């Protein structure tokens, strides 16, 4: 890390005192939170599959299909609370909560602490802590799926090493079993935690490879004396019954065959991690003195460009590190507490898509592939949701998932999430964007789109007096009409999602099915503009808006869809902008502010983008780790702000569709000068953008030949692109 350009990392002059401030590394499956204390270091280990049984593992969707016509009749007859009885009466069942595995403890007696520094290098994923006589470096390998920690000292290392399950919120009746075994490399440590009242467990195995000195077993740990270096390799597995620890140990030992070292393991990892991270960079011409600051100090300068540079870099790093087996959870891939807020779930009605919003534009297909991986595993459950709740073919996505189950069982009277039918389109949208960006359609995405269309064919059977399709029951996450109930009619999000899913499925499947799907989409009603001149959250006459709410589900047509734009539908865009003006922040959640910013950017409102960013940057939402919180004053560890912020900055600077490029649509004042290089567009071109208040220069590197519309502050003009030929654009004052 240097002060001559954007800093691709962050640092602190002291160890982390709280797990929320611990530096992070991950490979999309395993994660670590590193405290960096030279005399009592703690590395908390996490793994995406670690969820604690709570009854959710046995829950099924409610079987309500037989009563669907009755509830539809009642809602259409003007009975606003009819959907509150569309339930099987069960209490709210949360999905299985995400939890940490354990912490690796390394105690060193009487070591020096002078010259201390801890840092995380975003380009490598390494978390390093150093003093005058000690260095510890940790990374999580994308190549070998292993946590690697390397400890060295200028004198002989004396360390007590153990795996410790005692973390905040850990159930007192966990069945804990430790194992300690001598090996040719040094020692093998294992820790099994069996969940109370369950045959399910998780087991961690750490191989301790010692160079020089002596190694003694001190159950449940190991004591190393006078060593030159210590290398620790760790993996965690969640399992049913017993795990073959011997096989896990053999797999770790195989990583060290042929003299493979820390550097060898790192090199394999870098081929994957560094290549992905370096694809896109943002440089806001920040002051070198600000770039050199520790993250905790820089966070106290919310108006400085250096802070946005570092949060952009950290956001992409953490997003990449959390994505692999799954996309990010509410906490990304990390937690240091067994009592994770909202179960640390995959919350599909807003948070997953907000967190992954930067994936296509900032060249992280690894993130999109992680989104797809979660969906492909759960399609059978999505089909069961459609059959059980609605009696249809096709698929319906749940609003919450623990990663194991995709069944829709988390709902209540106030949150009738089982009524939400827009989820599949919402979750497929990043995959469609990815296909547009690369110019090739994934057959798996095509197949699911056909199933979504089949659901709508079976579900959209009711009509209004003008013969238009009615979406009933309909749910706008997580809001309700001011004069109605949660389950209503024609929520704007449901209308937009149905139209988009049907038309997109038709694009992927030309032929008779496509004609039928487009005809059904054309029969959906238009959006409604209410008495305040705002796009209504429910297009059904008589349903009044509730403005003070954290979600902006009704503006789904603006972002992430392109249904409502200032270019194609200016009247609807003006109504959407009015709806945005009237929207309150409710409980000041980070996702609400940044969702607001994404919609504002699409509507070319840079002042509103700046105001939303300021709420987050001024509100003390970020920990020293540069991971974020859900509420102001660092309340409730949550990845929404950290992962969404890069998408906000890109949307303010560059927007694209398969046939349009918009340059500098909504840059706030903090983005008056800069360079954004490597961005991908949905028409298949890489883009480098440089700008100052006096003008801008963009270099397009298209992979296919086509004509697009170029929009700038001076208007629109056609632009012809030729595959393989750079196209340079020069703009005047914007």
**DSSP bridge partners of 137:** 128, 150
User: CA torsion sign, 658 to 660 to 661 to 664?
Assistant: negative
Region 285-310 average pLDDT: 97
Share of the chain above pLDDT 70, in %: 99
Q: What local confidence, expressed as pLDDT, does residue 109 receive?
A: 87
Q: What local confidence, expressed as pLDDT, does residue 668 receive?
A: 92
How deeply is 409 buried, as exposed, middle or buried, from its count of CB atoms within 10 A (0-12, 13-18, 19+)? buried
Quick count: other Cβ atoms within 10 Å of Cβ 730? 8
Region 263-292 average pLDDT: 97
Residue 594 has pLDDT above 70, yes or no: yes
Residue 260 has pLDDT above 80, yes or no: no
- Is the pLDDT higher at 372 or at 734? 372
| Average pLDDT of every residue of the chain | 96
Largest CA distance in the chain: 85
**How far is the C-alpha of 370 from the C-alpha of 383, rounded, in Å?**
20
Region 632-651 average pLDDT: 98
Pick the closest to residue 282 from 591, 660, 612, 689 (CA basis). Answer: 689
pLDDT digits (tens, 9 = 90+) for 351-364: 999 999 999 999 99
**How far is the C-alpha of 534 from the C-alpha of 529, rounded, in Å?**
5
Helix, strand or coil for residue 597? helix
**How far is the C-alpha of 267 from the C-alpha of 624, rounded, in Å?**
28
Q: Where are the domains of the chain?
A: 9-51+97-278
pLDDT digits (tens, 9 = 90+) for 182-237: 999 999 999 999 999 999 999 999 999 999 999 999 999 999 999 999 999 999 99
Domain 9-51+97-278 = CATH 2.70.98.50? yes
Backbone angles phi, psi at 90, to 5 degrees: -70, 155
Q: 640-653 and 606-618 helices cross at what angle (nearest 10)? A: 160
Region 379-387 average pLDDT: 98
Region 534-561 average pLDDT: 96
Among 418-422, 649-653, 729-733, name the one with the lowest average pLDDT.
729-733
Do 625 and 20 meet the contact criterion of CB atoms below 8 Å apart? yes
Q: How confident is the model at residue 257 (pLDDT cuts 50, 70, 90)?
A: confident
Do 233 and 252 meet the contact criterion of CB atoms below 8 Å apart? yes
**How far is the C-alpha of 200 from the C-alpha of 194, rounded, in Å?**
6
Q: What local confidence, expressed as pLDDT, does residue 46 receive?
A: 98
**How far is the C-alpha of 308 from the C-alpha of 303, rounded, in Å?**
9
78: left (phi over 0), alpha (psi -120 to 50) or beta: left
pLDDT digits (tens, 9 = 90+) for 135-159: 999 999 999 999 999 999 988 899 9
Region 576-586 average pLDDT: 96
Residue 290 has pLDDT above 60, yes or no: yes
Q: How confident is the model at residue 733 (pLDDT cuts 50, 70, 90)?
A: low
Q: What local confidence, expressed as pLDDT, does residue 2 receive?
A: 40
Residue 734 has pLDDT above 70, yes or no: no
Strand pairing report for 126-130 and 30-34 = unpaired
Region 658-683 average pLDDT: 96
């Amino acid at each position: 890390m240097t002060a001559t350009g954007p800093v691709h990392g962050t640092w602190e002059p002291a160890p982390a005192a709280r797990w929320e401030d611990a530096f992070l590394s991950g490979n999309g499956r395993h994660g670590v939170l590193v405290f960096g204390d030279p005399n009592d270091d703690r590395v908390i280990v996490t793994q995406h599959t670690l969820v604690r049984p709570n009854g959710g593992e046995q829950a099924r969707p409610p079987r309500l299909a037989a009563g669907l016509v009755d509830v539809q009749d009642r809602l259409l007859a003007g009975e606003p609370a009819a959907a509150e009885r569309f339930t099987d009466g069960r209490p709210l069942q949360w999905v299985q909560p995400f939890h940490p595995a354990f912490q690796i403890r390394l105690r060193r007696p009487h070591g020096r602490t002078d010259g201390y520094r801890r840092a995380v290098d975003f380009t490598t994923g390494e978390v390093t802590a150093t003093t005058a006589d000690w260095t510890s470096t940790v990374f999580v390998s994308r190549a070998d799926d292993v946590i690697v920690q390397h400890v060295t000292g200028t004198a002989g290392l004396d360390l007590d090493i153990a795996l410790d399950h005692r973390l905040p919120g850990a159930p007192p009746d966990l069945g804990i079993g430790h194992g300690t075994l001598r090996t040719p490399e040094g020692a093998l440590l294992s820790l099994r935690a069996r969940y109370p009242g369950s045959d399910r467990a998780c087991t961690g195995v750490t191989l301790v490879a010692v160079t020089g000195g002596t190694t003694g077993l001190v159950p449940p740990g190991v004591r190393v004396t006078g060593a030159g270096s210590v290398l620790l390799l760790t993996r965690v597995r969640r399992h049913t019954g017993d795990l073959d620890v011997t096989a896990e140990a053999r797999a770790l030992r195989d990583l060290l065959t042929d003299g493979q070292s820390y550097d060898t393991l790192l090199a394999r990892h870098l081929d994957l991690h560094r290549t992905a991270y370096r694809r896109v960079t943002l440089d806001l011409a920040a002051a070198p003195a600000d770039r050199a600051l520790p993250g905790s100090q820089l966070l106290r300068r919310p108006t400085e460009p250096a802070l946005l540079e570092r949060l952009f870099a950290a956001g992409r790093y953490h997003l990449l590190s959390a994505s692999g087996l799954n996309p990010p959870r509410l906490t990304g891939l990390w937690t240091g507490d067994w009592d994770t807020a909202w179960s640390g779930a995959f919350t599909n009605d807003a948070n997953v898509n907000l967190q992954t919003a930067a994936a296509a534009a900032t060249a992280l297909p690894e993130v999109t592939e992680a989104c797809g991986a979660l969906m492909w595993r759960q399609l059978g459950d999505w089909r069961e949701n459609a059959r059980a709740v609605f009696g249809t073919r096709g698929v319906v996505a749940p609003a919450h998932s623990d990663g194991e189950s995709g069944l829709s069982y988390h709902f209540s009277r106030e949150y009738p999430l089982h009524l939400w039918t827009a989820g599949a389109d919402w979750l497929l949208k990043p995959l469609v964007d990815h296909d547009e960006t690369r110019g090739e359609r994934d057959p798996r995405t095509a197949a699911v789109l056909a199933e979504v269309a089949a659901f709508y064919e079976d579900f959209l059977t009711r009509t209004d007096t003008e013969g238009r399709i009615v979406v009933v029951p309909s749910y706008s996450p997580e809001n309700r009409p001011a004069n109605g109930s949660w389950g209503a009619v024609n929520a704007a999000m449901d209308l937009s999602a149905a139209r988009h899913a049907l038309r997109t499925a038709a694009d992927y499947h030309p032929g008779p099915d496509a004609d039928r799907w487009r005809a059904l989409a054309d029969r959906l009603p238009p959006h409604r503009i209410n008495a305040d001149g705002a796009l209504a959250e429910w297009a059904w006459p008589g349903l009044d808006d509730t403005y003070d709410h954290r979600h902006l589900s009704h503006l789904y047509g603006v972002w992430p869809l392109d249904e409502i734009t200032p270019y194609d539908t200016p009247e609807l865009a003006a109504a959407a902008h009015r709806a945005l003006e009237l929207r309150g922040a409710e409980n000041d959640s980070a996702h609400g502010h940044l969702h607001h910013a994404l919609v504002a950017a699409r509507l070319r409102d840079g002042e509103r983008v700046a105001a939303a960013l300021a709420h987050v940057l001024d509100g003390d939402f970020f920990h020293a780790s540069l991971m974020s919180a859900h509420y102001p004053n660092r309340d409730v560890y949550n990845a929404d702000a950290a992962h969404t912020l890069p998408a906000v900055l890109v949307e303010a600077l560059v927007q694209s569709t398969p046939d349009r490029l918009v340059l500098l649509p909504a840059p706030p004042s903090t983005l008056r000068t800069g360079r954004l290089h490597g961005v991908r567009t949905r028409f298949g071109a890489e883009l480098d953008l440089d700008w100052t208040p006096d003008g801008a220069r963009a270099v397009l590197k298209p992979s296919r030949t086509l004509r697009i519309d170029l929009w700038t502050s001076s208007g629109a003009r056609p632009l012809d692109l030729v595959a393989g030929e750079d196209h340079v654009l020069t703009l005047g004052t914007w």
